[in-house]
Amino acid sequence: MRALIFDCDGVLAETEGDLHLPAFNQALDEFGFATTWSADEYADRLMIGGGKERIASLLTPAFVAARGLPTDPVEQRTLVAAVHARKTDLLGELLRDLNLVARPGVNRLAREALAAGWKLAVASTSAKPAVTAIVRRVLDPEIVEAIAIFAADDVQAKKPDPAIYRLALEGLNVAPEDAVAIEDSHIGVLAATGAGIRCLVTPSLFTASEDFSAAFRVVPDLNSVSLTDLDPA
């Protein structure tokens, strides 16, 4: 049995600039963080796996004091969770009005894998409602029916920790050597390879300059990739 495991954001579709970044910025503004991430600043935050973790990275003592935010760790965790929940809701609202499409070759390769008897999954550090909404928007209906979704809500440690990929392997009942991951980021490659999975990279608009040396192949998109290229055998 073989498995093809996709990351979501930046792999299935270019979602960071038009969905995640504006949703983060609006949620941060609504909760009094008084900060706006530029595209470059957000690219740096993407090196941190997980939306809650990116929000929490802002809470330095100086930042908290300047904005009158809670200093108690428990209150900070509650605040981060609330901001992230609002960000997820905002992403859903933005998605409804956005003409989001799959990146080139994604649906074609997934259909080929499905026809060949491969298992399909998504392994993402984004919240499951966001991942599910994007999957349903950009993937063909027969793929949506067949694909398993593993997301940030399912694990404690986020990428580059391999926990999400280990969970995917367990859920799919597939050995690491029989799976291939498709990622777009350095931390994603580290997570996949840390779980013993070969990783192919299709860099996204926000990750093109990152280090992909641990991947077995880097391609502009999946148009040039066949199932034979991915077969672990």
Task: List residues with catalytic annotation.
Answer: 7, 9
Q: How far apart are CA 72 and CA 76, in angstroms?
A: 6
Q: How far apart are CA 4 and CA 229, in angstroms?
A: 12
Please say whether the beta carbons of 123 and 7 come within 8 A. Answer: yes
Residue type, 201: V
Structure tokens at 84: 């992230």
Quick check: helix, strand or coil at residue 38? coil
Please say whether the beta carbons of 194 and 161 come within 8 A. Answer: yes
Please say whether the beta carbons of 171 and 121 come within 8 A. Answer: yes
